[in-house]
């Protein structure tokens, strides 16, 4: 959950460590008291982090709660609002002013809850919470790499990008595509081929749609190799509340901070480019442009354009 208006009231970053403010320390203590709320004994605080303008809390629910989780979150926010009122009343630098005490809130009304239901999610979330201060330090140290760059043009295609634009200039680029029908053994063999090519300087371009593509992209990222990813969902639009705070997901964050990642959101006009449409039609036939299959093939066709692949030949050309 985030502090109202994203005000950095809970502390500041020193290097890669959080230094909590007086209010931040009180909020930290209140997090620990959540299991003491009425009916909350089944809630265990597994991990948490207090950041300058937001907090993450990892909860384990041991049995059905008598109230909806949102009720306990609401109680927590009310307690924190009271702490904030006391802090403001005692601080000459944060006077109450004309705001009625009943209207003072520390946290924004909404909060984001994510149930962890898949294998490996728990350990990834623990690592994400632990590394939150480090991630913020990396983002602040490399602001240009984490800025959504609007109206970029490359090879006649318009797009929005984030990350290292110099990856466009690599002379040896190749498209990473894997059929959904590939077996795990075939994916493993393709992964070894891609890792060997990456070791020799190839930068792969992928929409990372199929399971094989996702696995190989992860292997490339973990191997420290640069990669260009086309985003199916894209970035938040300018003016959206999350626009300024968008950052790559955990698996790609460090790659972005170290200049080894370029994220691309193709402009919608690219999907109606006659050359792209001709490539897609040759592969899919006359299917509706609104179909997921058409969209996925279009993403791969755009990846081929970016990589400089000669259509229908599967060979790399000059970028």
CATH classification of the domain holding 49: 3.30.70
66: helix, strand or coil: coil
Cross-sheet strand order for the sheet of 203-206: 149-154, 157-163, 261-266, 227-230, 203-206, 173-175
Q: Are residues 172 and 101 both part of a single domain?
A: no
pLDDT band at 157 (very low <50, low <70, confident <90, very high): confident
pLDDT at 228 over 90: yes
Between the two ends of the chain, the Cα-to-Cα distance in Å is 44
Q: Are residues 212 and 126 both part of a single domain?
A: no
Q: How far is CA 247 from the centre of its chain?
A: 5
Q: Are residues 131 and 216 both part of a single domain?
A: no
88-133 per-position pLDDT tens digit: 877 655 554 556 666 789 999 888 888 888 787 888 889 889 988 9
Q: What is the mean pLDDT of the chain?
A: 86
Give me the residue label for tokens 């008291």.
Answer: 33
CATH number at residue 247: 3.40.50
Query: Which DSSP string corresponds to 70-96?
Result: HHHHHHHHHHHHHHHHHHHHH-TTS--
Q: Are residues 161 and 118 both part of a single domain?
A: no
Q: Are residues 306 and 231 both part of a single domain?
A: yes
Q: How many whole angstroms separate alpha carbon 203 and alpha carbon 319?
A: 11
232-268 per-position pLDDT tens digit: 888 888 888 778 888 887 778 888 988 899 999 998 8
Q: Are residues 126 and 240 both part of a single domain?
A: no
Q: Are residues 179 and 151 both part of a single domain?
A: yes
Contacts of 192 (CB under 8 A, 6+ apart): none
pLDDT band at 308 (very low <50, low <70, confident <90, very high): confident
Q: Are residues 131 and 230 both part of a single domain?
A: no
Query: Residue 97: which domain range?
Result: 4-138
Q: Are residues 185 and 166 both part of a single domain?
A: yes
- Domain end: 138, 154, 173, which one? 138
Nearest CA to 176 out of 116, 218, 125 is that of: 218
- Domain end: 122, 138, 154, which one? 138
């Amino acid at each position: 959950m985030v502090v109202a208006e994203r005000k950095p009231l809970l502390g500041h970053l020193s290097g890669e460590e959080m230094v909590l403010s007086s209010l931040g320390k009180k909020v930290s203590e209140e997090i620990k008291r959540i299991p003491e709320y009425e009916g909350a004994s089944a809630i265990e605080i597994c991990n948490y982090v207090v950041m300058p303008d937001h907090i993450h809390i990892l909860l384990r629910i041991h049995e059905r709660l008598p109230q909806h989780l949102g009720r306990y979150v609401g109680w927590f926010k009310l307690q924190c609002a009271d702490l904030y009122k006391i802090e403001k009343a005692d601080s000459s630098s944060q006077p109450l002013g004309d705001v009625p005490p009943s209207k003072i809130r520390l946290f924004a009304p909404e909060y984001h809850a994510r149930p962890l239901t898949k294998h490996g999610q728990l350990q990834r979330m623990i690592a994400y919470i632990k590394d939150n201060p480090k991630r913020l330090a990396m983002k602040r140290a490399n602001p240009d790499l984490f800025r959504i760059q609007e109206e970029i043009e490359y090879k006649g295609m318009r797009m929005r990008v984030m990350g290292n634009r110099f990856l466009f200039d690599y002379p040896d680029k190749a498209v990473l595509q894997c059929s959904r029908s590939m077996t795990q053994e075939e994916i493993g063999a393709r992964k070894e081929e891609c890792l060997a090519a990456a070791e020799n300087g190839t930068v792969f371009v992928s929409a990372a749609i199929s399971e094989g593509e996702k696995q190989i992209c992860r292997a490339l990222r973990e191997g420290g190799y640069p990669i260009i990813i086309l985003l199916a969902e894209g970035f938040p639009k300018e003016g959206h509340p999350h626009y300024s705070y968008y950052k790559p997901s955990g698996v790609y964050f460090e790659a972005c901070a170290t200049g080894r990642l370029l994220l691309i959101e193709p402009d919608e006009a690219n999907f109606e480019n006659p050359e792209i449409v001709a490539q897609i039609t040759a592969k899919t036939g006359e299917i509706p442009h609104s179909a997921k299959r058409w969209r996925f093939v279009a993403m791969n066709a755009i990846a081929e354009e970016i990589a400089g692949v000669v259509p229908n030949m599967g060979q790399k050309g000059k970028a």
